Amino acid sequence: MTDFPLQRPRRLRRTPSLRRQVTETRLHPSMFVLPVFVVPGTGVRNEIPSMPGTYQLSVDELIPLAQEAESVGVGGMIFFGIPETKDEQGTSAWDPQGPVPRAVTAVKEHAPGLVAWADVCLCEYTSHGHCGVLKGDVVDNDATLPLLARAALAYASAGADVIAPSDMMDGRVAVIRGTLDDAGFGDIAICSYSVKYSSAFYGPFRDAANSAPAFGDRRTHQMDPPNVREARREVELDVREGADMVMVKPAGPYLDVIREVRNIVDLPVAAYQVSGEFSMVKAAAERGWIDGDRVMMESLTGIARAGADIILTYFAIDAARALRASQ
């Protein structure tokens, strides 16, 4: 078969307007969710050294950021709390005056156009940095479930729109759903971090959230990076337990997993471009080794092309601005 010269794919790449018209993947600011690290106090603004341009913020400092995000069309914000005190059980996780409930309430008031997501995990709140309570030196799955549900309830009571459990305990979606329903929060959504790998790409986050485990690692609850059939199983279980959306995390190194999940569910699929993915782009761009803005957009486009409807990314505001500028 002699396709050429009849077939010339270059014809549709000839001008920017042609390319724009035939594009198969369109990013939109409303897809983006900006992760934020919330600390106690007022006037606190600590830049995270390994994540340039990203800060630990007190609630008062977070309000202008939320308003900026809203004004450029970013879809939402997800909050991670760094509490005043930590203990074995992570009790600060469900303190109604804790950083996440206060952030949620403030953002609902000052930037109501944003979807307010609350991450649910105990690792930022436990003295040992593990995602649940310990029995000996292992995380006790079943004893952790009611504690996660208490945290979820505190965040829903503060006004969170989406509860996002990232702990990777088995059965937590069902327990959180039941607790929310019993308390009259039947209309509050759950986005489960269904497919969360035990990843070295979380390194900078653990500095930002002071949540590195004091000993051991998270390999007995987070997924093993080589596995994808297991990802299907996690998603199927969470859907049966009542998840409204499912997440894959990290994003860039797991594009095949995002596609696999997209193919098996009709629910919205979220993907989390995690701290290490962000920091690598920033570091290489600082050295002048890559064009940081273009790599930012290309990495986000790849995640959307793989099948993500929602992208959690530290680039949310910059990417939303770039999209507006290119319109």
Q: Is 121 in the site for ligand PBG (CB under 6 A)?
A: yes
Binding segment for ligand PBG (CB under 6 A), chosen from 26-34, 40-48, 57-65, 205-213, is 205-213
Q: Is 144 in the site for ligand PBG (CB under 6 A)?
A: no
Q: Is 205 in the site for ligand PBG (CB under 6 A)?
A: yes
Between residue 25 and residue 84, which ones bind ligand PBG under the rule CB under 6 A? none
How many H helices and E strands in the chain?
11, 12
255 to 274: interface string for ligand PBG, x by CB under 6 A = -------------------x
Q: Nearest-CA neighbor of 187 among 131, 125, 113, 242?
A: 242
Tokens coding 237? 């279980």
Strands 32-39 and 55-58: parallel
Which of 89, 166, 192, 299 is in the footprint of ligand PBG by CB under 6 A? 166
Tokens coding 132? 């649940």
Q: Is 279 in the site for ligand PBG (CB under 6 A)?
A: no
Residues 189 and 245 sit within 8 Å (Cβ to Cβ): yes
Minimum CB distance to ligand PBG, residue 207 (Å) = 10
Query: How far is 107 from 21, CA to CA, in rounded Å?
Result: 36
Mark whether 249 is an active-site residue. Answer: yes
Task: Identify the helix (H) or strand (E) that includes residue 248.
Answer: strand 245-249
Mark whether 135 is an active-site residue. Answer: no
Tokens coding 30? 């409303």
Residues 246 and 263 sit within 8 Å (Cβ to Cβ): no
Which of 39, 123, 160, 195 is in the footprint of ligand PBG by CB under 6 A? 123
Binding segment for ligand PBG (CB under 6 A), chosen from 175-183, 198-206, 232-240, 287-295, is 198-206
Minimum CB distance to ligand PBG, residue 326 (Å) = 26
Query: How far is 210 from 128, CA to CA, in rounded Å?
Result: 11
295 CB neighbour count, 10 Å cutoff = 17
φ/ψ of residue 45, rounded to 5:
-150, 85
Given the complex with ligand PBG, which of 25 and 127 has the nearer CB atom?
127
Q: Is 202 in the site for ligand PBG (CB under 6 A)?
A: yes
Residue nearest to ligand PBG (CB): 205
Minimum CB distance to ligand PBG, residue 111 (Å) = 22
Which of 61, 70, 95, 119 is in the footprint of ligand PBG by CB under 6 A? 119
7 CB neighbour count, 10 Å cutoff = 10
CA dihedral for 301, 304, 309, 313, sign (positive or negative): negative
**Interface contacts to ligand PBG, rule CB under 6 A:** 119, 121, 123, 166, 202, 205-206, 211, 218, 274-275
User: Which residues are part of the catalytic machinery?
Assistant: 196, 249
